[in-house]
Amino acid sequence: MIVIYSRTKPASYGTIKIDSRNNQMMKNMTQNKAIVVGGGMVGAAMAIKLAQQGKSVRIIEKNLINAADILASDKVDIRVSAINRFSENLLDELGAMPILRQSRLAPYQQLEAFERGGDNLLFDCADINTSHLGHLIENNLIQASLWQQFAHYNIEVIEQSAPVSAIEQSADSITLIYGQERYSADLVIAADGGQSQLRTKANIGVTGWQYQQQCMGVLIKLDAPQQVKTWQQFTPTGPLAFLPMQAPYANLIWYDDAATLQSVKGLNSAQIKAQVLSKFPPLAGNFEVQSHAVFPLTRQHANIYSQGRLVLVGDAAHTINPLAGQGVNLGFQDVAALAQVLENADDIGCPLKLNEYERSRRKANLLMMSMMDACYFGFSNQVAPLKWARSQFLKMANKTGPVKNWVLKYAISGELG
């Protein structure tokens, strides 16, 4: 069952019944205690993955959700992720993907990048003999489908709205202090987002910057059949993107300077529609605006991924330009890598093990962050020599099948091979 503690209740581990004949399982369940701070998509996935290995796991989360209500609701979330094949396979392993297949999701088969009046680059799943490149899925549905699995693994969820006041570490344990409450474990996993409190308390610095632009997400109801192509148009003022959700919905992404989007975000739905019609390429049919929101753009990378028995995953370790929707995919790759390192560890909080995880993920995350920035800055720049070079690159990439397919396989799998 799921045990939910309020922040006023005492912090004590619940009793977990196991088969006493399985000594190794007993060892894992009694000695390998992990706390995951943050129950979003990445944190929830991390908790389940460790629980599947027989480890005792607790989640500390300030915003509890009712997973069943979210999955049953007709309300569509404006926040959407492009889940690649790697993430899809992980969600299958965690038991979430079967639930999502019964909910709202949209497989996409093509991805196109193009300039206004210029060249284009088209990726097609047929080029690499697969049925689809990924899925567009609402973030809250992904989170809810993961939370539905907690009951199967006796994962405790602790409601804690207070900020963490201190972190104490010893040679064999780590303790989080929230006011008068203390939670101890062998390992603490910070999955508490880009503004991670745990990262700050552990004095782990970050490098990065705030982009001059922001992006607006516009949820629309589109009068058209199910769309299977997601596209991005690069313009002098920033990229524009179309993300086909399950019909009749779609998500539009509009990058522009902060002042422009701040002036637009207060408009009503009819006025937002007029802005979209003047800014975006023609859509597949008529549409109505359902909702819209403006988000800041930040790139940051933690200087280290762990300190003692504390380790960072997902946005707590790295935030990326959301240009190609790779952020949560990188987080899910963190989950798989950390779980692999810890699977047979006698002490899951061993700093040497956590350093091994960092070595496996840091370069890969930095590579994807750099690739997204190269696309973002390179395609938004209108300097004549760069514009000519960009045109030549697009023409060459379309004609060089092996190179294009390598890029495509990397994007959907996260693997360089």
Instruction: Give the pLDDT score at 29.
Output: 37
C-beta contacts of 400-404 below 8 A and 24+ residues apart:
401/127, 404/121, 404/123, 404/127
Contact 31/186 with Cβ under 8 angstroms?
yes
Domain positions in the chain are: 4-69+143-207+300-372
Contact 395/114 with Cβ under 8 angstroms?
no
Per-residue pLDDT reduced to its tens digit, 183-208 = 999 999 999 999 999 999 999 999 98
Per-residue pLDDT reduced to its tens digit, 260-290 = 999 999 999 999 999 999 999 999 999 999 9
Instruction: Give the percent of the chain with pLDDT over 70.
Output: 81
Contact 135/106 with Cβ under 8 angstroms?
yes
Q: Predicted confidence band at 393 (pLDDT cuts at 50, 70, 90)?
A: low
Whether the per-residue pLDDT at 30 is higher than 60: the answer is no
Kindly report the pTM of this predicted structure: 0.87
Query: In which order are the strands placed within the sheet that holds 156-159?
Result: 4-5, 156-159, 56-61, 33-37, 187-190, 310-312, 306-307
Whether the per-residue pLDDT at 384 is higher than 70: the answer is no
Instruction: Give the pLDDT score at 15.
Output: 26
Whether the per-residue pLDDT at 91 is higher than 50: the answer is yes
Tell me 305's DSSP state.
S
What is the pairing mode between strands 310-312 and 187-190? parallel
Q: Predicted confidence band at 37 (pLDDT cuts at 50, 70, 90)?
A: very high
Q: Predicted confidence band at 310 (pLDDT cuts at 50, 70, 90)?
A: very high
Measured between alpha carbons, how far is residue 301 from residues 199, 366, 373 in Å?
11, 8, 13
Is the pLDDT higher at 291 or at 394? 291
Burial class of residue 406, CB neighbours in 10 A (0-12, 13-18, 19+): middle
Q: How far is CA 292 from the centre of its chain?
A: 20
Instruction: Give the pLDDT score at 267.
Output: 97
Per-residue pLDDT reduced to its tens digit, 151-172 = 999 999 999 999 999 999 999 9
Whether the per-residue pLDDT at 237 is higher than 60: the answer is yes
Q: Predicted confidence band at 412 (pLDDT cuts at 50, 70, 90)?
A: low
Instruction: Give the pLDDT score at 13.
Output: 26
Instruction: Give the pLDDT score at 268.
Output: 97
**Range with the lowest mean pLDDT among 35-39, 117-121, 171-175, 296-300?**
117-121
Instruction: Give the pLDDT score at 121.
Output: 81
Q: What is the mean pLDDT of residues 28-41?
A: 80
136 beta partners: 82, 106
Instruction: Give the pLDDT score at 116.
Output: 73
Q: What angle (nearest 5°) sits at the alpha carbon of residue 353, between those of residues 352 and 355? A: 65
Q: Predicted confidence band at 332 (pLDDT cuts at 50, 70, 90)?
A: very high
Listed residue (334, 399, 414, 392) closest to 127, CA to CA: 399
Instruction: Give the pLDDT score at 243.
Output: 95
Q: What angle (nearest 5°) sits at the alpha carbon of residue 201, between those of residues 162 and 172? A: 100
Instruction: Give the pLDDT score at 399.
Output: 59
Is the pLDDT higher at 63 or at 416? 63
Q: How far is CA 126 from the centre of its chain?
A: 26
Whether the per-residue pLDDT at 9 is higher than 60: the answer is no
Positive or negative torsion for Cα 279, 280, 286, 290: negative
Q: Give me the CATH code for the 4-69+143-207+300-372 domain, please.
A: 3.50.50.60
Whether the per-residue pLDDT at 17 is higher than 60: the answer is no
Q: Predicted confidence band at 387 (pLDDT cuts at 50, 70, 90)?
A: low
**Range with the lowest mean pLDDT among 159-163, 224-228, 260-264, 412-416?**
412-416
Tell me the residue type at 375.
C
Q: What is the mean pLDDT of residues 373-399?
A: 58
Q: Is 416 helix (H, G, I), strand (E, B) or coil?
A: coil
